[in-house]
Amino acid sequence: MTTEPAGTPDEEGLRHRVRALLSAHDPASTDRLAFLRARFDAGLAWVHYPQGLGGLGARRSLQGVVDAELAAAGAPENDPRRIGIGLGMAAPTVLTFGTDEQKARFLRPLWTGEEVWCQLFSEPGAGSDLASLGTRAVRDGDDWVVTGQKVWTSNAHNARWAILIARTDPDLPKHRGITYFVCDMTDPGVEVRPLRQITGEAEFNEVFLTGVRIPDAHRLGAVGDGWRVAQTTLMNERVAIGGASIPREGGMIGTVAATWRERPELRTPDLHDRLLRLWVDSEVSRLTAERVRQQLAAGAPGPEGSGLKLAFARLNQQISGLEVELLGEDGLRYGDWTMTRPETVDFFGRDAGYRYLRAKGNSIEGGTSEILRNIVSERVLGLPSEPRTDKDAAWKDLPR
């Protein structure tokens, strides 16, 4: 007989709980959603989250143990690519800044994928300079009334909820008058219009907010503290985009390496040289990401994380560019320009031309590579910032 481990579970304790989950909910005969809910309730969704919120307060690095055991047992997945914004950005922000009610309301359906999330941050006039945003939120009794326009909103067409930042005090300097909300995408004041991308499809949208009512109970963090709350989201976004754990040749390099091995007739000395350089860069960047994860697991997060997304964007762009060139005549063909509204970014299910075009967004979304270099040079290397005139003036007085 095994005894139920007390306190924060270790690896053995987690295996024990996985076995208990599997015996109570046989994946072969349990409905997918019912299984995912049971997994969440057993604390095996994200083991480093607190008890009662899908976790057990265990070490983050132990998640792999759970995932591997469940995968081996044929358990259903929560399809993380479909709900990346929820998992990678909304969840850590709700966990850090949410009230108990908010955590209890939002995290479970977020994790099971029942409710998809999107991110209403960027605006036509506020991209890299996100803090200059102009969408207004005005207090009205227990509600806030929100009006403005957001843009480049990925997956807004599938989303039930949005994380939203809006200006609540135009008289303060721009970083200080912002508040962070959870916005109900089914509110009648929310209008989502597709924006077609260079790939042909419309992954992102423009979102018009007209008198949208958000209960004050859906505010995350204090009034006026939205910029600080948003930093949590953005930091997590960058790690989510650049920091995924992958095996050797697991990223785009694997696709082009496979083509190289299968089609010797395409090889040239120049392409060979470039392929090997990119293979080395991919492996080094994989190791760098691995090192960042080991630092996190050891409780000593290093600044390396902010660089991962830079490397990821450059590599994806160079590798997909090489792949199209390597393919020669096949590189002249493109799968499908039809305007569709996909649920996920599928880098590997489509052809090289798609990868080449979609990878262009990797150095723009989640903070452009130029902005990331600013962040590394100032926050990691401690170099002085450029002279600025926009920091202390009231937002309403800034030139636009």
Partner 1 sequence: MNQPSSQPATPDLLYSDVEDDLRSAVRGLLADRCPPTAVLARIESGTPYDLDLWRTLAAEIGIAGLLVPEELGGQGASAREAAVVLEELGGAVAPVPFLGSAVLATSALLAAPAAAGPLLKRLASGEATAALAVPLPTAPGAAFPGSVRVAADGTLSGRITGVADASAADVLVVPAVGPDGPGLYEIAADAPGVSIDVPVSLDLTRPIADLTLDAVAARLLVGPDSAADALRAALLAGAGLLASEQLGIAQWCLDETVRYLGERHQFGRPVGSFQSLKHRLADLWLEVVSARAAARNAADALASGSPDAAVAVAVAQAHCATTAVHAAEECVQLHGGIGMTWEHPAHLYLKRAKADEIALGTPGRHRAALAELVGLPA
Ligand X SMILES: Cc1cc2nc3c(=O)[nH]c(=O)nc-3n(C[C@H](O)[C@H](O)[C@H](O)COP(=O)(O)OP(=O)(O)OC[C@H]3O[C@@H](n4cnc5c(N)ncnc54)[C@H](O)[C@@H]3O)c2cc1C
| Cβ–Cβ < 8 Å for 169, 177 | yes
Q: Of the two residues 273 and 397, which places its CB atom closer to partner 1 in the complex?
A: 273
Q: Which residues bind partner 1 (CB under 8 A)?
A: 247-249, 254, 257-258, 260-262, 264, 267, 269, 272-273, 275-277, 279-281, 283-285, 287-288, 290-291, 294-295, 298, 304, 307, 310-311, 370, 372-374, 376-378, 380-387
Helix ranges (DSSP H) in 25-131: 32-41, 63-72, 84-85, 91-97, 100-112
Residues 218, 90: Cα–Cα separation, whole Å? 13
Among partner 1, ligand X, none, the one that 119 touches (CB under a kind-dependent 5 to 8 A) is ligand X
Q: Of the two residues 60 and 341, which places its CB atom closer to partner 1 in the complex?
A: 60
Provide the token pair at 283. Answer: 């492996």
Find the radius of gyration of the CA atoms of the chain. Answer: 23
CB of 244 to ligand X, least distance (A): 17
CB of 45 to ligand X, least distance (A): 23
Residues 127, 121: Cα–Cα separation, whole Å? 8
| Interface with ligand X, residue 161, by CB under 6 A | no
| Cβ–Cβ < 8 Å for 69, 15 | yes
Binding mask of the shown chain, residues 122 to 151, with x at each position contacting ligand X by CB under 6 A: x----xx-----------------------
Terminal-residue alpha carbon distance, the chain: 70
**Which residue's CB comes closest to ligand X?**
127
Residue count, binding to ligand X (CB under 6 A): 19
C-alpha pair distances (Å), 127 with each of 152, 216, 253, 317: 10, 26, 30, 22
Give the residue, chosen from 111, 180, 204, 260, that forms a contact with ligand X under the rule CB under 6 A.
Answer: 204
Q: Of the two residues 184 and 365, which places its CB atom closer to ligand X in the complex?
A: 365
Give the residue, chosen from 40, 117, 144, 152, that forms a contact with ligand X under the rule CB under 6 A.
Answer: 152
Residues 198, 10: Cα–Cα separation, whole Å? 47
Among ligand X, partner 1, none, the one that 361 touches (CB under a kind-dependent 5 to 8 A) is ligand X
| Cβ–Cβ < 8 Å for 347, 360 | no
Q: Which stretch binds ligand X (CB under 6 A): 47-55, 253-261, 267-275, 365-373?
A: 365-373
C-alpha pair distances (Å), 80 with each of 113, 220, 301: 8, 24, 24
Q: Of the two residues 21 and 230, which places its CB atom closer to ligand X in the complex?
A: 230
Among the listed residues 262, 353, 242, the one whose alpha carbon sits nearest the alpha carbon of residue 308: 242
Provide the token pair at 113. Answer: 């994928």
Residues 154, 203: Cα–Cα separation, whole Å? 6
Q: Catalytic site residue 290?
A: no
| Cβ–Cβ < 8 Å for 113, 78 | yes
Among partner 1, ligand X, none, the one that 127 touches (CB under a kind-dependent 5 to 8 A) is ligand X
Provide the token pair at 128. Answer: 């890299």
Residues 271, 167: Cα–Cα separation, whole Å? 51
Q: What is the 3-state secondary structure (H, E, C) of 248-275?
A: CCCCHHHHHHHHHHHCHHHCCHHHHHHH
Among ligand X, partner 1, none, the one that 183 touches (CB under a kind-dependent 5 to 8 A) is none
Residue ranges in 289-348 that form contacts with ligand X under rule CB under 6 A: none
Provide the token pair at 351. Answer: 């052809």
Candidates 115, 123, 201, 237; catalytic one: 237
Among ligand X, partner 1, none, the one that 145 touches (CB under a kind-dependent 5 to 8 A) is none
CB of 68 to partner 1, least distance (A): 13
Binding mask of the shown chain, residues 366 to 385, with x at each position contacting ligand X by CB under 6 A: xxx-xx--x-----------
Q: Of the two residues 35 and 317, which places its CB atom closer to ligand X in the complex?
A: 317
Among ligand X, partner 1, none, the one that 384 touches (CB under a kind-dependent 5 to 8 A) is partner 1
The contact set with ligand X (CB under 6 A) reads 118-119, 121-122, 127-128, 152-154, 204, 361, 364-368, 370-371, 374
Please list the active-site residues. 237
